[in-house]
């Protein structure tokens, strides 16, 4: 059982915006929260690092934020290609990394 809680699934129509939350007591003190996109049979892809920074090449439709013990990934202008599983990660004071349970995004 993950110490980071994500909704099991979210959905949205093309063009809409969706937000995926990631809640955990560790989030509030962690400046290294990351978000990954994962498709079956592929390696995870980094979408957000250090809470709100976007790697080069990632669409600016993806944004990250944090408030208290909850981090959020927002995808605006939803596209069919965004359909995937999304995971948050957080660095714990035990010098380990936690993964959220994952959220399945469905584009309707």
Partner 1 sequence: QVQLVQSGAEVKKPGASVKVSCKAPDNSFSNYGFSWVRQAPGQGLEWMGWVSAHTGYTSYAQNVRGRVTMTTDTSTTTAYMELRSLRPDDTAVYYCSRSTSIAIGTDVWGQGTPVTVSS
Residues that bind partner 1 (CB under 8 A): 2, 32, 34-36, 38, 41, 43-46, 48-50, 55, 85, 87, 89, 91, 95-102
Q: What are the φ/ψ torsions at residue 28 (nearest 5 degrees)?
A: -60, -30
Is 34 or 63 the residue whose CB approaches partner 1 more closely?
Answer: 34
Least Å distance, CB 39 to partner 1, is: 12
19, 78 Cβ separation under 8 angstroms: no
Would you call 28 helix, strand, or coil by DSSP?
helix
Is 13 or 96 the residue whose CB approaches partner 1 more closely?
Answer: 96
Is 15 or 75 the residue whose CB approaches partner 1 more closely?
Answer: 75
In eight-state DSSP terms, residue 5 is B
Least Å distance, CB 14 to partner 1, is: 26
Least Å distance, CB 4 to partner 1, is: 10
Is 43 or 80 the residue whose CB approaches partner 1 more closely?
Answer: 43
Distance CA 26, CA 63 (A): 20
3-state secondary structure 69-107: CEEEEEECCCCHHHCEEEEEEEECCCCCEEEECCEEEEE
């Amino acid at each position: 059982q993950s110490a980071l809680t994500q909704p099991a699934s979210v959905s949205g129509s093309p063009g809409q915006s969706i937000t995926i939350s990631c809640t955990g007591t560790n989030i509030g003190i962690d400046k290294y929260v990351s978000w990954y996109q994962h498709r079956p049979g592929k390696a995870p892809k980094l979408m957000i690092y250090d809470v709100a920074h976007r790697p080069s090449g990632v669409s600016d439709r993806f944004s990250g934020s944090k408030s208290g013990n909850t981090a959020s990934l927002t995808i605006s202008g939803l596209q069919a290609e965004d359909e995937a599983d999304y995971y948050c990660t957080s660095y714990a004071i035990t010098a380990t990394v936690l993964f959220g349970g994952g959220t399945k995004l469905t584009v309707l």
